[in-house]
Amino acid sequence: MTTRTLTHIAAAVFIAISLTACGGGGDTGTPANGNGGPPLVVDADGNSTFNASVLGTTLSALPTETLSAAEQSSLVYMREEEKLAGDVYARLGATWGLKIFTNISTSESTHTEAVLQLLLRYNVTDPAANLGVGLYTNATLQGLYTQLVAAGSVSLIEALKVGAAIEELDMLDINTHLKTVDNQDIKVVYDNLLKGSRNHLRSFYKTLLQQGGTYNAQYLAQAEFDAIVNSAIEK
């Protein structure tokens, strides 16, 4: 058996382990810390936060493959879309004083940093460099931020609906990007982002119901939405 073959086998084994740790196959997971564990840490409320050092270790063990134009465009967009989620939640948290917004905003800040790790890994210019809260290079996201903050400022119920809609949109966009992404390291990060969005959607929906609100799927198929919100938090 050649050295090259052994290297490929080792990489495949590592990827399988990494995907299991990221929640694939129903993994229950163990809260991560600086000494190891899944790169996404999930608490009892569903707040899903990347452990930067564990993610860095996971990525460093994977190959840096050729980055296609579609993959580069995807990373640039997702860097700012994840930033938008955190920015909107921070703004709505300040408006309504509800802990769910500040908690998930903190988690989202690690999501955008996870995408930044990939940008740095592939030497792609960071579109969010030196941009403050609510500011984006992408004009579509800039307009969306203004729209979402305005909608969420009407009432607490509407703010929670905005949270649910953002998580739906994140999932829709990531799944669309995954159709053109084949680099293993990007897939690991995106799979974890999806899990985080599913958990955050569950949290927003549960809180919305507790506040007396109702919600129908805005971006996902209703059946897919129902399956997510009626299932347990993924660890």
pLDDT at 21: 35
pLDDT at 36: 52
Asked whether residue 128 is assigned to any structural domain, the reply reads yes
Asked whether residue 192 is assigned to any structural domain, the reply reads yes
Which mean pLDDT values do the consecutive 10-residue runs of the chain (235 residues) have? 38 36 34 58 97 97 97 98 98 98 98 98 98 98 98 98 98 98 97 98 98 98 98 96
Q: Where are the beta strands (DSSP E) in the chain?
A: 40-42, 48-50
Assign residue 102 the CATH number of its domain.
1.20.1260.10
Asked whether residue 151 is assigned to any structural domain, the reply reads yes
SS3 33: strand
What is the tally of structural domains in the chain? 1
Asked whether residue 170 is assigned to any structural domain, the reply reads yes
Asked whether residue 115 is assigned to any structural domain, the reply reads yes
Q: Which residue has the tokens 């000494």?
A: 35
Asked whether residue 234 is assigned to any structural domain, the reply reads no
Asked whether residue 235 is assigned to any structural domain, the reply reads no
How many CA atoms within 13 Å lie on the side-chain side of 121?
28
Q: Which residue has the tokens 């190959």?
A: 63
163, 89 contact by CB (below 8 A): yes
SS3 95: helix
Q: What angle do CA 166, 181, 59 make, to 5 degrees?
A: 90
Two tokens at 152? 């969420």
What is the DSSP code (8-state) at residue 24? G
Asked whether residue 172 is assigned to any structural domain, the reply reads yes
Q: What is the pTM of this model?
A: 0.85
**Domain of 39, in residue numbers:** 3-229
pLDDT at 38: 87
